[in-house]
Structure 1
């Protein structure tokens, strides 16, 4: 069996579908379906069982086994960067992750978990080194602190433990995320609704729409994660982006080019985001490349049209 927490969410559901493509259906999906819209991400997927996240935590806390578990993909988290209830965020993102990590270590089960590039804050460094880590909000802090906990394990664990710091992920099955969905998703719907896409104006020394992020298509992310699953000798904390920063203007032009119409409108940079906004991110991919991962990543000129084609499917 393979366990996928957050399995009805954006990245988790894409992992489930990718495992199905390999012929793997012995999967336990763990999630919180209070927002029932997330169930649509699993339409067409095959998995053995589903457990609510709290029921799952109770069972692992009581030492419950789930048979022969091949790996745990831990994607479940409170991913809302505007959530400032620190007690709640640490319970969901930190305490939960620790409990599941120790459950895996005790049984020798590979543990592949989602960290976040948000741990780097405003940068300017984006390599997996302590001096580059400056979280700016509770979400980032919870992810950073769990990375710190993993780094401080008393000895090299007998089983695989890997944390992946996701950069700006976009692609199928993110629609339930609302305001936290990717700019590609929002630009697409803005254009369909208003005939234009809205980008932030100049800020932090960048011209209008020239703020730059490392945008990675979820298919590329999942491909890399399954490669790590296939290589149990790979362990540690790694960035997972493309290694190339691209501007919001480039994303907007990819959306407009796909539709063959539309224009860009620049809006004033919001006051509440000043000093708390990543105007530039670019993953240093040298650690993952050195570990042996050599697949290419899609640039937004390829990845965005691929995504929009999926969004417009019947």
Structure 2
């Protein structure tokens, strides 16, 4: 199902985490394709606050929203007064929930559960109160080291982030049984594309390798990177899945990937082709053996069937489309 401008005319859309990677891309999708919809972005934005691993607590950045003309609210989804204000003063038709502590290496179990699970329940209650459809970000981290291809129902999270996302999925299923609203959980695999730069060290290796190459540095890969395979998915296909999840009677938990596993070596080789370089790769020991996913591949059969989703970008096409933005970010933010 593809929404026309008229379908979303005068509809109100809330995007939590809307200054982050995927949330900001959604905000611009609606602005460009549905100018008569009211889009409200909620994000905690970044401060100097860090987690114990040294990474920022929030990756939201104003530069991801330059050019966005909708309403912007700075706030934390853990703030119950804020959520009450949203319930009383707005009337949402759709909620896209992208806000989370998304750092898979974060050790703060209390903050992770509070933010990713407890606050999500409050947002589900907001959706029920407004009779709004809920589309939320789950994650392939729910699978941990589960055998490929990863299928819904075969979860084995090995960090608190994956556990929190699986807990969100369990909670969603309970609400699906009891409530009339449409609830769709999308388990994103390895996403890359525009507006990810401000995720810093947690940005995709597509971007990180791209900037290494542009700096004239030899790409640094783990030994055996031709055998470390992941399901890498371009941001445009993530947006496609979210829009298709707006259709009625689609409640469920779905994988969003390409259904094809590709190697980190493939990323470097494609980037070098697109950038016209032939730098020699440096191979370093992998310090994460034992706590590292060596193969992810989304089973997307039910996603195709239920949502009508079909990935449009092979890795070659996705990286080719992304390279101009990789170059722009390098020139404006890195050099």
Confirm or deny a common fold (TM above 0.5): yes
Aligned positions of 1:107-146 closer than 5 A = 107-125=130-148, 126-129=150-153, 132-146=154-168
Aligned equivalents of 1:253 and 1:49: distance in 2?
Answer: 40
Within-5 A mapping of 1:78-97: 78-97=101-120
Residue of structure 1 in register with 2:251 after alignment: 235
Residues 106-145 of structure 1: CA deviation (Å, up to 9, x unaligned): 321101000000100012041111xx11111111111011
Separation in 1, partners of 2:22, 2:227: 27
Residues 1:215 and 2:226 aligned together: no
Corresponding pairs, count: 304
**Other-structure match for 1:10:** 21
Which sections of structure 2, spanning at least 5 residues, go unmatched? 1-11, 48-58
In structure 2, do the counterparts of structure 1 residues 8 and 154 end up closer, same or farther at CA, with 3 Å as the change threshold?
Answer: closer
Retained in 2: the 8 A contact 1:256–1:263?
A: no
Give the C-alpha shift of residue 80 in structure 1.
Answer: 0.6
| 1:250 counterpart residue number | 266
Supply the distance in 1 between the matched residues of 2:176 and 2:45 (Cα, whole angstroms). 36
Q: Which residue of 2 aligns with 1:288?
A: 303
Q: CA deviation at 1:300?
A: 1.1
Could you tell which deviates more after superposition, 41-50 or 212-221? 41-50
- In structure 2, do the counterparts of structure 1 residues 2 and 66 end up closer, same or farther at CA, with 3 Å as the change threshold? farther
Q: TM-score, normalised by structure 1?
A: 0.91
Tell me the equivalent position of 2:323.
308
RMSD: 1.9
> Contact (CA 8 Å) 2:176, 2:251: kept in 1 or not?
no
- The answer to whether residue 175 in structure 2 is matched with residue 175 in structure 1 is no
Distance of 2:16 and 2:175 partners within structure 1? 22
Select 1:69's aligned residue among 82, 92, 117: 92
Task: Report the CA distance shift for 1:269/1:63 in structure 2 as closer, same or farther (over 3 A).
Answer: closer
Q: Counterpart of 2:70?
A: 47
Q: Is the 8 A contact 1:209 1:266 kept in 2?
A: no
Ranges in structure 1 where 5+ consecutive residues have no aligned partner: 203-207
- Deviation at 1:55? 8.0
CA 1:294–1:137 in 2, change beyond 3 Å: closer, same or farther? closer
The answer to whether the Cα contact below 8 Å between 2:255 and 2:300 also exists between their aligned partners in 1 is: yes
Asked if the contact 1:86–1:138 (Cα under 8 Å) also holds between the matched residues in 2, the reply is: yes
* Among 188, 198, 223, the residue aligned to 1:201: 223
- 8 A Cα contact 2:77 2:119, kept in partner: no
Secondary structure, counterpart of 2:22 in structure 1:
helix
Alignment counterpart, residue 29 of structure 1, candidates 28, 41, 49: 41
**Secondary structure of 1:155's partner?**
helix
Secondary structure of the residue aligned to 2:73 is: strand
Deviation string 1:173-196 (CA, Å, 9 cap, x unpaired) is 011111110010110111122432
Distance 1:71 1:286, change over 3 A: same
